[in-house]
Amino acid sequence: MNMKFKALTGLAIVSVSALILGSCTANADSPGLEYMPDMYRSPAIEPYVDYGEIRGRINEDVKLQQSALTPPAGTVPYFGKDSETVSLMLPYFRKANIAFRETHGLYGVDLTTSDEYTAAAADLNPYKLTADNAEGMFKKGKELYTAMCQHCHGEKGDGNGPMVVSGAYAGVPNYKDRSALGDGQMFYSIYYGKGAMGSHASQLTKKEIWTLVHYVRKFQNADYGKFDASGAMTATAAVPADTTKN
């Protein structure tokens, strides 16, 4: 009995020592034998691309494939904290015309046969321009316009962007010739596209598009966005009367 116990204790001591010594390596930077490697170093999981590798093992089936799933149609993205951004996140209530399928490739989008573009003339810009936010609005508008629109529409909004000047593109209007457009029509055209202009629905948020609508108004009338002491907008010409009220 005593002998058996001694032998067992001896065996236990030898195996524990072997395990402890075996965990050591000569490399001072090596963590040695890891029993639960995931607890020390979690495998990198990247949302948009899967390298298919977990600790040296490669899974060819998922290698270099997008691992994040496309959100279901109609999903409402929700981000930001300011009420203006959040209130503009709900889906745009006007549908594109059925013709946009052929003209602008809007397949898989809810379409309509009614003339929503004409109806949109009555929609006012829900992102209100005030004496307080005008400077920031035009600064943001310029930023977006420079990145997304200027190459076609031109720095001055006259339709002579580098794409047009180079001869690669034609038919871009001078904004001044479209002063009669309602805010909602501009939104509709930027959102779904019009003629040779593509849809910007996937590149810009609705708040950004409404910001651009204010910015385009400024090309149509340099006084747009100037306010008098009482806080009323001074510009009237070339701006639909009711834009100043909303």
The residue ranges that bind ligand HEC (CB under 6 A) are: 148-149, 152-153, 171-173, 178, 181, 185-186, 189-190, 194-197, 200, 212, 216
Least separation in angstroms between residue 164's CB and ligand HEC is 8
Q: What is the rounded end-to-end Cα distance, in angstroms, of the chain?
A: 96
Q: Which residue is nearest to ligand HEC (CB)?
A: 195
Q: Which is nearer to ligand HEC, 194 or 218 (CB)?
A: 194
CA atoms within a 13 Å half-sphere pointing along the CA-CB vector of 68: 7
CB 212 → ligand HEC: shortest distance, Å? 4
Contact by Cβ (8 Å): 109, 96: yes
When the beta carbons of 64 and 168 are compared against ligand HEC, the nearer one is 168
Cβ atoms within 10 Å of 151's Cβ, excluding its own: 17
Minimum CB separation of residue 96 from ligand HEC in Å reads 13
How many angstroms separate the most distant Cα atoms in the chain?
A: 108
Q: Which is nearer to ligand HEC, 76 or 170 (CB)?
A: 170
For residues 181 and 235, which CB has a smaller minimum distance to ligand HEC in the complex? Answer: 181
User: Residue 79: left if φ>0, alpha if ψ -120 to 50, beta else—which one?
Assistant: beta
Q: How many CB atoms lie within 10 A of CB 170?
A: 9
Residue 148 Cβ, how far from ligand HEC at the closest point, in Å?
A: 4
